[in-house]
């Protein structure tokens, strides 16, 4: 399985791209945004994190499932520059739920995978109603000849209400994502920075045969617990100063996680 090569107890850093042209909080030019992203990528790579996801996190407030061509173009340029300058595995996420745009960005930039929202089942996000997209997205991937670009998807996504699917538990949601040919699923806490439920991770891991990743709330205290069961750990907020997503990267926090990860890999867990 190709995805198992990408997601094999993998540490994944979230690179929050600065606000892009046309969005309310944009203040940097594209060359400045590219340079900022490359500086952060260099910090990650120099400290032993070789898989990243770029995300337009600063583009608040987000549009629902569709962004303008300026966003897709900007993300593709940034991703291309990162792949050209660094030896890394790269994912794309374009908020909110702009999964076709993320796929196009990945194909044109040479990125390896995308993080999708709303792949199976509907939910109410803070951007509004978000419906499932698996059928359309995989047909688009096929039509573009982009089947080498893998799709990992959030299930029971954070920042969302799931009352309309309350009778479908997270295991059945994961099974549906696998049935609809997702290359991996992501479990998160209720919002950015909040920890995912370890018991849910264990349950989902037993229920599917595709990679299961944790997408929020990872820190040096719970790192080993998640590594025991997850195929990948996506870390964003914890890697920032004071653990706040919009702050600068914290070198000391990155080093703590990488050290704990190395200890785990060597079978040394008592220090974490």
Evaluate if residue 165 carries a pLDDT over 80: no
Rounded to an integer, the average pLDDT of 52-79 is 97
- Of 173, 244, 252, 242, nearest to 207 by C-alpha is 173
Evaluate if residue 71 carries a pLDDT over 60: yes
Bridge partners of 62, per DSSP, are none
- Of 119, 226, 215, nearest to 174 by C-alpha is 119
Domain boundaries, the chain: 2-265
Evaluate if residue 5 carries a pLDDT over 90: no
- Which pLDDT value is given to residue 253? 98
Query: Each residue of 17-57: pLDDT tens digit?
Result: 999 999 999 999 999 999 999 999 999 999 999 999 999 99
Bridge partners of 240, per DSSP, are 249
Evaluate if residue 272 carries a pLDDT over 80: no
In sequence order, which ranges of the chain are alpha helices (DSSP H)?
2-6, 30-46, 69-85, 99-109, 134-144, 170-179, 198-207, 223-227, 251-265
| Cα separation, 154 vs 32, whole angstroms | 31
Beta carbons of 100 and 39 less than 8 angstroms apart: no
- pLDDT over 90 for what percent of the chain? 84
Mean pLDDT value across the chain: 93
pLDDT tier at 77, thresholds 50, 70, 90: very high
Residue 219: how many other CB atoms lie within 10 Å: 17
Rounded to an integer, the average pLDDT of 177-189 is 96
The fold adopted by the segment(s) 2-265 is TIM Barrel (3.20.20)
**Reported pTM:** 0.94
Query: Each residue of 97-112: pLDDT tens digit?
Result: 999 999 999 999 999 9
- Which pLDDT value is given to residue 269? 58
**pLDDT: which is higher, 240 or 195:** 240
Evaluate if residue 199 carries a pLDDT over 60: yes
Rounded to an integer, the average pLDDT of 197-223 is 95
Evaluate if residue 164 carries a pLDDT over 60: yes
């Amino acid at each position: 399985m190709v995805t198992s090569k990408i997601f094999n107890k993998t540490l994944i850093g979230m690179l929050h791209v600065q606000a892009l042209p046309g969005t309310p909080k944009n203040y940097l030019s594209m060359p400045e945004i590219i340079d900022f992203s490359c500086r952060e990528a260099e910090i990650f790579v120099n400290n032993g994190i070789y898989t990243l996801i770029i995300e337009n996190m600063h583009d608040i407030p987000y549009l629902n499932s569709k962004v303008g061509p300026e966003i897709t173009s900007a993300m593709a340029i940034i991703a291309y520059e990162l792949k050209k300058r660094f030896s890394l595995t790269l994912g794309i996420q374009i908020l909110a739920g702009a999964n076709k745009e993320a796929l196009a960005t990945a194909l044109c930039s040479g990125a390896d995978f995308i993080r999708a929202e709303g792949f199976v089942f509907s939910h109410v996000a803070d951007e509004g109603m978000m419906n499932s997209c698996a059928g359309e997205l995989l047909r688009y991937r096929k039509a573009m000849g982009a089947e080498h670009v893998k799709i990992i998807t959030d299930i029971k996504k954070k920042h969302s209400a799931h009352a309309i699917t309350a009778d479908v538990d997270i295991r059945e949601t994961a099974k549906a994502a696998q049935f609809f040919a997702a290359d991996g699923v992501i479990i998160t806490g209720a919002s950015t920075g909040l920890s995912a439920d370890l018991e849910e991770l264990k349950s989902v891991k037993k229920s599917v045969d595709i990679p299961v990743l944790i997408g929020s709330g990872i820190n040096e205290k719970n790192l080993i617990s998640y590594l025991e069961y997850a195929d990948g750990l996506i870390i964003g907020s914890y890697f920032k100063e004071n653990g706040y997503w919009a702050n600068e990267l914290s070198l000391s926090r990155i080093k703590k996680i990488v050290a704990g990860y190395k200890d785990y890999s060597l079978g040394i867990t008592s220090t974490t």
